Structure 1
Amino acid sequence: MRNFKRTVAVGLFCTSLLAAAGAGLARAGDPQPSALSPPAAGQAGRAAPAEPEKPASSEPLIQVTGRVVHTWEDKPGLRIILVIDGFTVLTRDEQLTARDGVIWFDEDAARRTGKAALGVYAETGVEYRRADGKVEKYDSVFAEMATAGEISLHSDEPLRGRADGTEMFLRARKLRQEYLTRGVRETPTAVTPAPVPGPKVQPPGVREAGVPQEITIVAQDDVRQVNFTSFVEQGTRISAWSGGVYITRGDLEMAADNLIIWTPEDALRRAAAGAAAQEPGGAAAEAKAGTRLAAEAYLEGHVRAIQGRRVLQCSQLYYDFQQEKALAINTKIRSFALGRNVPVYYYAKEVRQLARGVFVGTDSWMSTCEFAEPHYDVAAKEMRLEDLTPEVGETGEKPQHRRVRFVGTDVEAEIRGMPLTHWPRLAGDVSEEATALRTIRLEHRRNRGAGVATQWHLLKLLGIEQEPPGFDFYLDLDAWSKAGPAFGVQSEYKRPDYYGEFLSYYLPNDGGEDTVNGESIDPPQRGRGRATWRHRHYLPKNWELTIEGSYISDANFLNEYFEEENEAGKQQETLVYLKKQEREQALTLLASARVEDFYTRTEYYPQVGYNVIGHSFWKDRLTYFQDSELAVARFRPAEAMRTARQSPPTLVADTVHEVDLPLKLGPVNVIPFLEGRLSYFGDSIRGGAEGRFAAREGARAATQLWRVFDGVESEFWDVHRLRHVNIFDASASAAQVSTPSRDLWPFDPTEAGTHEVIGVDDTGIVELGWRQRFQTYRGPPDRRELVDWIKADLEAFFYSNRQVPGIAPDNRPVFNRLEFRTDWRTTDVVTTWTNTTYNMDGGTLERVAVGANFVHTPRLSYIVGHRYIPDGESAQMLLGFDYRFNDKWRLTVMEQYDWDQRENAQSDVVLTRRMHRWLMRIRFQHESYKEGLFAGVEFQPVGVKEMRLSW
């Protein structure tokens, strides 16, 4: 079915009522002089020039949207718009949302005055956001809105004719009359009249016992001739229409070429008697009452049934109004996935509605592709769907996602009719934004070969309808031409008292290759895999338990199959950690073991710790820190470190105490500190026990200076007022130690005296920092925001008594150096940046990086940069851009070229083509360190992020 979108625009040309109402009032987001500090002594004290008044906008000031829209002329010059489902009225300052609504628009008055006043009725889940930001909620409401711009009307379906016989319109008309009779129709232009709340509206499709819900039948259009006949047979009145009619009943709306309804004669007589009393007319009144109280209906020819966001199309439909049951032949149901912003289509040879929101279909399939033969789908021999989404009236809030329980038999995922997977039974209780298939990828990789990788919601595949709250279980099923089959289970869980994750993956017979240092090698073993469990539990009395267990089959496995986790994920450990924390004090217990011999780890059997973080004493003049431990530790280096020795189980006692003295010396905050450390090791690298005493003393200081320049104005640089902020910080410390770290086992990596790290040794460190921020206002005159125009950071680092230069535990270099970084928002389009490191020991530049980011237009953005590392003999040029040719084509390129090595470091080219319901990506990738070229084509259905087909 084509997705129609019609727009009705009424052009009006004069000053907006809403703009007039808001004249002279400050709007949220306007820059305030107080946002910058007041002028300091000696500065220009004049106020910033007044901002010019914003001209009235020529863009549409009222937008009306809805899925199904009826519009007709009630009388000459008065247009009525009735909206079913998704009713929204949006102005520049106000917003009204509801499920359904009605609008009265006086076109004649708009033409005469150039001002349009809309009478707006809304019901079911109404939210009215006023110009001041206040949100009011109603069951039903009538309000007036005004505009001098355009009124735009958007509908997902073709605009339809009269619907003045529906129950909603009658309720709307009644509340409008009450509103007008109060004498508030004419209001001052500078005052927005308050909305008039209406009575509580019964949720659509729900009615009180004994109260029949009327059925309204109207012609579809004025072109075709509608024929009507009615007769009585065996106590039942049978009425027939042909020529195209609409049938409405609450929130259910149907249309067909031909219609037959059956009404019990006794109900007809009771209804006719009541109708005749109010509307004399004999047989006519009887027939009218009969159609309103129909019990059953048969529809044929271009049948459509609309209820909420569901649209059903079929060739034949039987509907039982009393039991809300139906039978449809050759059915197509159209719904809408809010979480994906795409339509969802459900096809079936036969569909039975067993109750409201409960459907059973045979020979059915589901897809986001609307073609009769969909490009991709999930098919089932029989599928039962039960809509569990609460009505707005049940919870008082509009549901964010539709919740559906489904059960399918003989379920297959298909592409172009070719089945990819098969499950005898598939069931679940999910929201509309979730599917059993989480991801699917068809890929070709040099080391693994061609293959398919899928991930599924495990409990849905097992037919478990009620998933445990807070738990997600996933099943990985992969197959590769070289690496062979692979499978794994993943789980993520989060409950009020605990949370955690479980990861597993296994290849029984890996026949692929691994890439190590740019070379391809055979896997160290055929059966490969991993299993990792991390769990944290909050126990009573402020106790906290952490458990981690990890098994990796070989050193190359994570890098080959979980590269991102291997480079940036948490360290693989096996441990039990227990902690009790009371305010600033904590007691800890740690036991750990190394499982994989290719990792360097310290095992504890166990470690007991006590920590104090920031305890104030002496009337808050001093702050105390402590870190103490008593442990039996064992250092175990990786097997690849052939020169490193393994320690025996060693008794370690270590306690560190620090006292800070926070001071304020005028505008400067100064914190002198003194640290003492006492340690005992039962064994050492030199052999025998060792004791160690260490001391560290120093100070940290920081201050800020700023000044505001009110007179700075530049249209060229887009600078409007300027604030210059200077932040100065400094720290200096000196350490003395009785035993150098190179004589001790490196149980703690931060103490290892190797060429990689610098430990606790006689070292002096001085760090100086100067950070500048130039801030200004940017943006439209009425919505300017404070931004950092220029950032400039300068830092200096000085070290003394260094035994072995290298890298500190936090990965900082430990040579004397200067670091300078800038970030300049030249315009709203261009941002330039630099990053420079100068080695004062060698008098050389250690690293230089410069570049710029450009957001030229919404269609074009690009980045250029250059990074130079003399010691690494690397000078890389970076160039990347993203360009949208049109709505269908998009090109993304990223290129890194090393001028020193005279080779291409990395190239990425992605060409994206948006097709009807697919995204096609053609991808080329080259990385020099992997010595490989990847070229592939990827397909992804629009809105179905779980499915990606790549080669």
Structure 2
Amino acid sequence: MRILFFLPVLTVLFFISGYSSAESLLSKVKDVEQRPFSLSGNRIVAWKKEGVRVFVVNKDARILQGPFQITADTVVCWFHEEEAAHHKEATVEVYCEGKVTILEEENYENYEQVYLRFETLTGIVVDPSAQPIETYEVAQETEVVRRGEEIRSMKKEEYLSLEIPKTVPPSGVSQKEEMVDIIADSIDSWEEGDKRIIVALGNVDIKKEDMTIAADNVILWFDKTGSDASKHENLPLSEIYAEGNVTMRHKDDVQVADKIFENVKEDKGILINSKIKTTIQKKTDKKDTDAERKRLSRKSTTFALEGLPAYVAGEEIRRVGKDRYEIKNGAISTCGFGHPHYHFKGKKIRLVRRGEHNYVSSTSNAFYMGDYPIAYVPYLAIDARKTKEHLLKDWEFGSSSRFGRFIRTDWDLFALTGGRQKDWSDLTLNLDYLEKRGVGTGLDFEYNRQDMLGYIDSYYIKDHKKTDINNVPIEHEDRGTILWRHRQQLPYDWRLETEYSYLSDSHFLREYFQREFKQGKDRETTLYLRRIHDTTAETFIINEQFNGFDTTVDSLREKRYAERLPEISYRIIGEPIGDNLLILTSESAATYFNGSLEQGEPKIQSESLARVDSVNRVSMPFKPGIFNINPFVEGRVTGYTESIDTSDAVDEMNGPASGRFIGSLGFDWSSTHWRNYSVYNDLLRINRLRHIFVPELRYVYSPIVTKDPNELYQNDAIDALDSSQVVVIGVKNKLQTKRGEPGLEKTVDFINFNVDYYMFPTGAGIYNDGINGIIVRKDNFVNIDFRSQLTDIIAFVSERNEFNTEEFKFDVFSSGLELNNPPDWQCFVGHRYIRDISSTVMAAAEYTISEKWRVMGAEKYDFKSFLKDKNGTAEYKPQNLKTNIVLFRYFHDWVGSLTLQLDPVRNDNSYRIDITPRGLERRQRRFWF
């Protein structure tokens, strides 16, 4: 009992000792030596030597004490037990090794070796999470203990190191073998010459350092050395023979066989009817200091494969050297079933372990699905512990009204060759067959290196059909796309971004890549250079549409696309003037427009011209009392090499060079107020309320515009600017409450309610570049956003609403109810109304039936859909927009799904079955998503 009382003390002291400075960490907590400590781990070994109790914690060692926490692979603690029995304070020494992490609230530090020395007044609680504490009469001098003893001998208060520790033999004596712990129904031992032989029969369980063996029967051979040769636990192990349901574990790797023989001294052996299992490790990418880097890279599933297994099997596996194996007529798979669903059969397979990597290579391979060969691969090389290699990354088949029967496949070409290129890139081959359209193929290459990243996507199909959606004629049967987007960091803080886009026709994306067509950015060919330094930025852009048409716009929409060849700009953002009394914001640009692309029929055809534009704003923010006021004046000067000739009754092109000036002024005003209320409600889980109230007022007036925008070519929103006056009165409201278990409460936004009233006193409104060209909003309207988190599960949402105060009608109104209880179920029911356009009801739900089954459904129905009859007359009728039902089945290594879809808008009803490796199920789809 005395020992158990002091065990917690040792644990806590060890935890504290993991920090970079023991005194600085402990001083942050008052009376830290009196705080309770706890030590936990999968396996804890203890012994006593010369009045000192020693504890060794292996695997997932963890120490907790107040705000501090330490985790490590292995922990060794020396508790001066006899000293504690006679003194109030007790000394504890702690040594941590292997991925040591020291945490203090949100701060953390990482090391490979940590040694600290503490004094404590409280006991230590030891919690072995996997098995009871193993107590030995003699010291267990493992390599970790010897390294700790060597650091102890330095007589330092602390020792911190980032280097991975090396093997340290004990000084003055020969290195001893790690103790072998044997458990069996029957154990016999005898000597033969210079060998001690131990035979263990029945339910044998052997532990040696980080290796374990379980088998029906095991024979061990030890070399006799010195006077203590009678104790086999101190002898070097030379040979092992195990038979009958043999399982040998070494770190994360597992060997299963009928028989195993190993010559430990020579690192050689043989495994009969064996399978070697190794665990896939997380792929380590280089650090990226650019926060936007991840946004360009489309990799999102690499780490999802961490922890999945890879298997190498054969009738006879030979160990030919340290961490080297050879298999004749063996098999490689990532399926752990006794009869794998898929595998490679190789004539000669080699497995080599190097550090954190397991390299597998094989010649003359056949790829099997079940018992049937479907492909031949001359050479295969993968790193089984770096990433899971699936040759077939994804496949899908089904039937569609528009495509007929189809099969879509994605193949990982790097899975065939491995190599270093897999560390920084992916190469995927797309092979598809569509009964009514033909054979489609493409290559997707993605890369991510230290100073650059990007991707190249391509796709080609020889289209056999005559028309696309809405019976749009197909002019050329050779259809496809190439898209390259690249980002690179350059010297002197410059960054380069390039994009090249090719499309065979304006309807290709809408037909085959619907998601990108609706949600992706415009396809263009661009070279963009930028440099940002403090409050200034310089940019250079060349933007041209080689396709000759707008790439993401269908025939029912209008949009203007202006080519810039080139544009050079300089920006100043928030530069203080006069001891921070004034703030300058400026943007100047020189642009050459090479015409523009436009859907619809413009009044005047665009012409090539040059434009110089400079806008400068000076503001004077100040804060009288509780108010924030920011008045400003702004001037914009713009010059054009050409304009529109309006001298005659009919407007004509090629007008004279022209320029204009726009003068503006205005101010922003706001104030923040809050108040707490003692309100409680069990149903809505309200535990007091805090109301945050922010009134705002914005006024912008542009009384001076020296030239009518109708006399200028319209390339972007700058050319559309006109005299305007805008008043915005807004109020932001937020109600917050506390939710959670006592002592663990978190602040929750119970209600967010924001109202902005836009008024245009002179009838001139807001000018901006929208999806339908230049938008001029002149009607006074109220913008309303409301969200209420009613409970932890239920939320009511009504956002982006617009109420027209002149006609006293909603232009846009949306509302919805969210029910979110992950991972069991989630659902949403909502309605969106757009005046004179649509009134759509949306519903979606997802339910987890069991660990292996999940179902998801979605429905969109428009009560006011815009349609055309056979005569081309426009009318509004109710219409189902889309219905989706998806059933998911989770296998041990794959995810299967059955999808039923009704899409009247695209005149396409389809079903499809999709088989995807776990971790890759969120890949973008062709044809539908």
- What is the TM-score of this pair, normalised by structure 1? 0.73
Matched-pair contact (CA < 8 Å) for 1:506–1:527? no
1:793 CA drift (Å): 0.7
- The one-letter code of the counterpart of 1:243 is L
687 and 139 in structure 1: CA distance in 2 versus 1, 3 angstrom threshold: closer
Aligned to 1:304: 247
Change over 3 Å in CA distance of 1:319–1:644 after alignment to 2: farther
2: CA distance, partners of 1:225 / 1:632: 91
* C-alpha distance in 2 between matches for 1:121 and 1:337: 32
Q: Is residue 347 of structure 1 aligned with residue 313 of structure 2?
A: yes
CA, structure 1 residues 728+522, in 2 after alignment: closer, same or farther (shift >3 Å)? same
Partner of 2:687: 720
Contact 2:310 2:388 in 1 (8 A): no
Q: What is the rounded CA distance, in whole Å, between the counterparts of 1:870 and 1:202 in structure 2? A: 67
Question: Are the aligned partners of 1:349 and 1:364 in contact in 2 as well (CA < 8 Å)?
Answer: yes
Shift of 1:306: 1.5
8 Å Cα contact 1:822/1:833 also seen in 2: yes
> In the TM superposition, what is the alpha-carbon distance from 1:841 to its structure 2 partner?
3.2
Structure 2 SS opposite 1:275: coil
Q: 1:225-624, aligned counterparts within 5 Å?
A: 225-228=186-189, 230-232=191-193, 237=195, 239=197, 241=199, 243-244=201-202, 245-260=204-219, 268=224, 271=225, 273-275=226-228, 284=230, 288=232, 292-337=235-280, 339=282, 340-389=306-355, 402-429=356-383, 431-435=385-389, 437=391, 439-444=393-398, 446=400, 447-461=402-416, 463=417, 465-467=419-421, 471-482=424-435, 483-496=437-450, 498-511=451-464, 515-516=468-469, 519=470, 523-579=474-530, 582-599=533-550, 601-624=561-584
1:663 CA displacement: 3.9
Separation in 1, partners of 2:636, 2:758: 24
Corresponding residue number in structure 2 for 1:846: 811
How far apart are 1:62 and its partner, in Å?
A: 8.0
8 Å CA contact 1:724, 1:772 repeated in 2: yes
Aligned length: 814
SS at 1:565 equivalent: helix
Confirm whether residue 834 of structure 1 aligns to residue 798 of structure 2.
Answer: yes
Change (3 A) 1:668 1:225: closer
Mapped partners of 1:254, 1:200: distance in 2: 33
Report the CA distance between 1:373 and its aligned residue: 0.5
Which position in structure 2 is the counterpart of 1:744? 712
How big is the alpha-carbon RMSD for the aligned residues of Structure 1 and Structure 2? 4.8
Deviation sequence 1:646-670 (CA, Å, 0-9, x none): 4443233333333333344441312
Query: Cα deviations across residues 913-939 of structure 1 (Å, max 9, x unaligned)?
Result: 445555443322223322322323334
Distance in 2, Cα, partners of 1:591 & 1:133: 45
- SS of the counterpart of 1:765? strand
SS in 1 for 2:905: helix
> Which letter maps to 2:675?
V
Using CA pairs under 8 Å that are at least 6 residues apart, name the structure with larger relative contact order, 1 or 2. Answer: 1
Partner of 2:654: 687
1:905-920 matches, within 5 Å, as 905-915=881-891, 917-920=893-896
Offset from partner CA, 1:727-762 (integer Å, 9 cap, x none): 22223222543332233222x32146xxxxxx2123
- Report the Cα offset of residue 634 of structure 1: 2.0
Q: Equivalents in 2 of 1:843, 1:509: separation in Å?
A: 54
- Name the amino acid aligned to 1:481: L
Separation (CA, whole Å) in 2 of partners of 1:647 and 1:412: 61
Match of 1:734 among 683, 690, 702: 702
Query: Structure 2 CA distance, aligned partners of 1:455 and 1:524?
Result: 29
Distance, in Å, in 1 between the alignment partners of 2:493 and 2:66 is 51
Equivalent position amino acid for 2:434 in 1: S
Q: Deviations over 1:25-63 (max 9, x none)?
A: xxxxxxxxxxxxxxxxxxxxxxxxxxxxxxxxxxxx989
Q: Deviations over 1:51-90 (max 9, x none)?
A: xxxxxxxxxx989664xx699999xxxxx99976445578
Q: Which residue of 1 aligns with 2:897?
A: 921
* 1:662 equivalent in alignment to 2:605: no
The TM-score with structure 2 as length reference comes to 0.75
Q: Is the 8 A contact 2:726 2:765 kept in 1?
A: no
Residue 758 (structure 2) pairs with residue 797 (structure 1): yes
> Secondary structure of 2:227's match?
helix
CA distance in 1, matches of 2:133, 2:530: 67
Question: Unpaired segments of 5 or more residues in structure 1?
Answer: 1-15, 22-60, 75-79, 105-118, 180-194, 277-283, 390-401, 753-758
Match in the other structure for 1:700: 667
Q: Separation in 1 of the partners of 2:347 and 2:743? A: 61
Return 911-920 or 822-831, whichever deviates more. Answer: 911-920
Deviations 1:471-528 (A, max 9, x none): 41413231213344444333344445x4242323232523368753xx3556432322
Q: For residues 572 and 327 of structure 2, what CA distance do their matches in structure 1 show?
A: 65
Kept after mapping to 2: 8 A contact 1:628/1:655: yes
8 Å contact from structure 1 (residues 140, 200) kept in 2 = no
Do the aligned residues in 1 keep the contact of 2:717 with 2:768 (CA within 8 Å)?
no
The one-letter amino acid of 2:619's match is: D
State the one-letter code of the partner of 2:395.
R
Answering whether residue 592 of structure 2 is matched by residue 626 of structure 1, we say no
- Equivalent residues of 1:877, 1:896 under 8 A apart: yes
Q: Is the 8 A contact 2:830 2:841 kept in 1?
A: yes
Taking the TM superposition and a 5 Å limit, the aligned residue runs for 1:750-899 are 750-751=717-718, 759-799=720-760, 809=770, 814=777, 815-835=779-799, 836-855=801-820, 859-872=824-837, 874-899=838-863
SS in structure 1 of the partner of residue 523 of structure 2: coil
What's the secondary structure of 1:274's corresponding residue?
Answer: coil
Aligned-partner SS, 2:510: helix
Q: Specify the SS of the correspondent of 1:374.
A: coil
Contact 2:724 2:766 in 1 (8 A): no
Change in 2 beyond 3 A, CA 1:152/1:541: closer
Change (3 A) 1:151 1:927: farther
Q: In 1, are the aligned partners of 2:186 and 2:201 still within 8 Å (CA)?
A: yes
How far is the alpha carbon of 1:327 from its aligned partner? 2.2
Decide whether aligned partners of structure 1 residues 596 and 769 sit closer, same or farther in structure 2, where only a CA change above 3 A counts: same
Question: What letter is aligned with 1:570?
Answer: K
Is the contact made by 1:405 and 1:427 (CA closer than 8 Å) also made in structure 2?
yes
Could you tell me how far apart the structure 2 residues matched to 1:949 and 1:553 are? 20
With 607-616 and 121-130 compared, the bigger mean Cα shift is at 121-130
Deviations 1:575-597 (A, max 9, x none): 33444555444444433433111
- Which of 676, 681, 684 in structure 2 is aligned with 1:709? 676
User: 2:161 & 2:448 partners in 1: Cα distance?
Assistant: 42
- Alignment-derived partner of residue 300 in structure 2: none
